[in-house]
Structure 1
C-alpha cells in the first residue's frame, strides 16, 4: 500500500539478473533489416509476433507452440468480407495512444465531453483525407498493392490516397497493430470497407467492428479464413522487451531520477519501433509517464495492459469512463461531424466503470460461509 524504495531496488536487481541470464543464453530483441542495413521497424514488429524461436525470434523467453485453436482466434480478428467475424476490436483511445512518426504523442488528453486535446507539436490532424501514397522505407507489404512499391529506393506505402488523416503519419507499430477503414487488405486485393449498406466488411451484428477497428497484430497478412488459410503463430507469454521496460521502470522508481540505463533500455524499444530517442533531462515523473506510454503501445493487445493499470493504481483513470470509436452506423466516407451518416467521426461506444474496490475481487459468499473469519475486501 505504501511506496518502498527497497522493493523497487529488489525489482531492479531481479530484472538485471534476468536480462544478464537471458542475453547470455542468446536472447535478444527481434530485428529485421532493409537492404541498406537500416532497421525495418515494420517487419521487426510484425514478425516479432509470428516467428518461431527456432526461426531466429530470440526475443521469446516464455512461449508455447501453435495449436489449431488459434486458427479460430485469428478469424476473430479479421473482417467479415474475407471470412472473419471482426469480433476483436480496438477502442479509439488505443488508436490515439500510438505515437506519430516523429515520436510525439498525437493526443495529450480529453475534454469533459471526450473531445481530444491535440498535441500541436505532433503534426496530427483528424480532418480531411490524404491525396497520395504515404511511403516508408520498409519491406512490409501490408500498406498497399505491389504495383505501388518503389523497389528502386526500397519504399512501400503504409497508407493509400483517400485515407482519413487520423491514420496518416503514425508510427510503424500502429499499422502493424490496427485494422482501420480503407486500409489495404492483402488477401482480398482491396481495401477494408466498413460502411453500412455498401461495405463488404460491414454488419450491424456482432460480426463487425463495434468501434470501427479490428486487431491486426499477431495475425499474418496471409491469413484468409474464407479459403481456410491460416499460419503458424507462437503464443508469447513473456518476451525480452518486457524485461527491458520492467528494468527501466524499476530503476527509475528506485532513484531520484532516470540514469543512463533507464534511457538505454527504453530507447532500445523505441529504436526497434522506428522512433527517436527520448529527450534527455526528463524528471522521474516524466520518465514514469514515458515508460507507461511505451508499455501501452509496445504490448498492445498482448494481455498486459490491465495488470499494468492495476499495479500502477491507474485503472480508475483509464477504465472508468466512456469508450469511443468511429461511427459504425455510418454509410458515407465523410468526416462531417454534423452528418449522422458520416463514418469518420468520434462516436460514443459504451460507458465502462472501474471503482477503487475493483482492484480486488470479492470473496464468494460460499467461502465466507465456510470460513467465518474471512473478511470481504472494502467496498463489497
Structure 2
C-alpha cells in the first residue's frame, strides 16, 4: 500500500526531550519522526523506560482514528470539504473543488488516483487515501505497545494489560474501517523490524475477518479492559476505547461481511482478487448472518450485566425533548450512546467556524428530496406526497430526526422561527422568500437542492464554542438496528425480537413502531430507511448501499425540492426538480456510467507494481 514499506520499516524515534523556557518537558511522536530506523535498541528502551512516555505511543494511534467530520487539520477525512454521503442518495455536492465532484461525479477515479502522495491536493479528494490517513503508522504504534509495554518499570500490571487490549482494539478499528473500503488486506500482526526483507501478501477476505475478530475477542476477554470509562476517569480519559466498543465493532464487522457484497454465490465483480477470494467468501452461507446475530446478542447481554450504555432518552437531556435526545446522541461526548468516539481537535474558539459548517455553507452538503421523503410522519407512517394531509404542510408532524437533520420552514432556528422558503418567480407578491432564504449562514449554495442541512453545522455556532467535538464512529443505536437486520435475514423474515429492536430506536424519538406483518424484503427496506434517518451524514448510508449492492441508488438521478409559501394563508407549493446538468451532474447517472467495481476502492497502482503480493481489486486492474 502507499509507502507501506516506509511506514512499517520505520520505528518511533526518541528525538530527545523538548525543553521549553519554563523547563517543562515533553516528548513528540509522529510521522515526521519516522524517517529512518535506529542503529540500536537504545531508542525503544528509552521510550519504554517510563509509563508517561510509553502511554504517548498509544496516544499517537488515537490521533488518526477514522473521523468523518471536517476540522481545520483533517481535510483528508471528507474529500476536501465533501462528504462520503455525497456519493449516495442522501446528498448532492455542489462544491466544485471537492473530491466528490472532481473525482467521483466527474468519473475521474482510478487506481492512479490512489497514487497521490501525502499532503497533495488530490490525495485529500478520494473517499479513502490510506497514505494520507496515517493509519499504518498508527497501527505500528499500537503493536509497539503490545510488544514493549511489559518492560515499563513504573506501570502496574493492570494498566499494562489494559493498554495491550486497547492497542489490539485500536488495530481492529483501523482494519475494520479499511475492510469496508478494500476487502481483504495484508495482515500486520506485529511490529515489522527494519531487517525483515519481505512484506506480507494480501490476505483473503476470510483471513482478514478472522484477524479482526481475533483481535477484538482478545481485547474483550481481557479482564483489565474496562467495559466503559468510569466517572473517575472521565475527565481525563473520555474517548478511550472500551470493551463495549470492541463488542459493538465486532457486530458491525460481522454484519457487513454477512451482507451480499461479500456473502454471495457470485463475486460482485470478476478479477484476480475475486478468484483469490480477497473480495468475497466464494459462496453464500446463511450462518454468517447467525454470526452477526450472535455478536449483537452477546453485546446486549453484556449491557444487561454491566449497565451504563443505552440510547439517550428525552429525560436525559436539557432541554428535554425527543429531538434533543437525538441531537445529544450523535453530537455530545461522554453520553451513554457512543461506543467509539473520535476526536481530532480539542476546543473550537469563540467565533471560529467549524469546517463542517463551512461544508454546508459552500454547497458540499445539500440534502436531496429523496432523503427528505425518507423520514416518516410523527405517528410512524411513511410520508406520502399523494396524501393531501401530508402535503398540506410537509414539515409538520414529521419524525423529530427530520427537524434535526434539515432546517425546516416554521421550525426553531437560532432562537426564532425559521423562514426557509424561496420566492416564486411567477408570483413574487404572494410567495416572497422567507427571512432566512439566502441570508447569513443559510447561503444560496447551501440551498441549491431547495433544502438546507442542519445536522453538524448550521445553528450550532454557539454550541461549538468551547465544545470538544466528537465523531460518533459507532453508536449503540446501530447495534439495535444491526441486530434486527441479522434476525430478519437469518430467520427469513422478521420475528418479534427484530421488530422490538427497530421500535426501540423509533421510540427514542417518540415514534410508533413498524407495522407488523412485513415480509423479509419489506422489513429490510424499512430497516435500511430507518438507518438512513438515524445516521444521516455519519458515514453509514454509503456502506449500507455498497454492502447490499444497491446499484440503482447510485445510478438513478436524484431531485431537489422547490418550496414556496403563500404569505396570506401559509399554504405551501412544493415542486420537485431534477438534479441534472452542470459540473455537479454525476457521471454515474449516464447510461452505463456506474459499474459494480466502484463498490470497493482501488489500491494505489504504483504499490501494486512493487510485486510483494498486493493484488488489485477487480475492475481496477
Residue 575 (structure 2) aligns with = 345
Provide the rounded CA distance (Å) in 2 between the counterparts of 1:85 and 1:343.
Answer: 26
Given that 2:600 and 2:617 are in contact with CA atoms closer than 8 Å, whether structure 1 keeps it comes out as: no
Provide the rounded CA distance (Å) in 2 between the counterparts of 1:40 and 1:63.
Answer: 24
Given that 1:98 and 1:171 are in contact with CA atoms closer than 8 Å, whether structure 2 keeps it comes out as: yes
Residue 309 (structure 1) aligns with = 545
Unaligned runs of 5+ in 1: 79-83, 108-117, 129-164, 336-341
Given that 1:101 and 1:169 are in contact with CA atoms closer than 8 Å, whether structure 2 keeps it comes out as: yes
Determine if the alignment matches structure 1 residue 242 to structure 2 residue 483.
no
Superposition deviation, residue 63 in structure 1:
0.6
Provide the rounded CA distance (Å) in 2 between the counterparts of 1:210 and 1:230.
Answer: 31
State the superposition RMSD in angstroms.
3.6
Task: Specify the structure having the higher radius of gyration (Cα).
Answer: 2
Superposition deviation, residue 29 in structure 1:
0.8
Superposition deviation, residue 64 in structure 1:
2.7
Given that 1:96 and 1:106 are in contact with CA atoms closer than 8 Å, whether structure 2 keeps it comes out as: yes
Superposition deviation, residue 345 in structure 1:
1.9
Match of 2:302 among 21, 25, 33: 21
Q: 1:320 to 1:334 in 2, by over 3 A?
A: farther
Determine if the alignment matches structure 1 residue 63 to structure 2 residue 336.
no
Comparing 95-104 with 257-266, greater Cα deviation is found at 257-266
- Normalised to the residue count of structure 1, the TM-score between the two structures is 0.69
Provide the rounded CA distance (Å) in 1 between the counterparts of 2:498 and 2:347.
Answer: 40
More strand by proportion, 1 or 2?
Answer: 1
More helix by proportion, 1 or 2?
Answer: 2
Superposition deviation, residue 275 in structure 1:
1.4
Residue 610 (structure 2) aligns with = 370
Q: 1:51 to 1:282 in 2, by over 3 A?
A: same
Residue 75 (structure 1) aligns with = 357
Post-superposition Cα deviations, 1:249-271, rounded to whole Å, max 9, x if no partner, equal 11111113222221111110111
Comparing 199-208 with 6-15, greater Cα deviation is found at 199-208
Residue 275 (structure 1) aligns with = 511
**Residue 252 of structure 1 aligns to a residue in which SS?**
helix
Superposition deviation, residue 177 in structure 1:
1.3
Post-superposition Cα deviations, 1:282-332, rounded to whole Å, max 9, x if no partner, equal 222222222112111111121110001110111x121212221134xx9x6
Provide the rounded CA distance (Å) in 2 between the counterparts of 1:379 and 1:85.
Answer: 32
**Residue 354 of structure 2 aligns to a residue in which SS?**
helix
Given that 2:339 and 2:474 are in contact with CA atoms closer than 8 Å, whether structure 1 keeps it comes out as: yes
**Residue 618 of structure 2 aligns to a residue in which SS?**
coil
Aligned residues: 307
Counting only pairs closer than 5 Å after superposition, residues 1-380 of structure 1 correspond to structure 2 as 1-2=264-265, 3-23=284-304, 24-33=306-315, 40-53=321-334, 57-65=335-343, 67-68=346-347, 71-76=353-358, 85=362, 87-107=364-384, 118=385, 120=387, 123-125=389-391, 165-181=393-409, 183-187=411-415, 189=416, 191-193=418-420, 195=422, 201-202=437-438, 207-218=445-456, 221=459, 223-224=461-462, 229=465, 231-314=467-550, 316-327=551-562, 333=565, 344-350=574-580, 351-352=585-586, 353=588, 354-371=594-611, 374=615, 377-378=618-619
Q: 1:216 to 1:231 in 2, by over 3 A?
A: farther
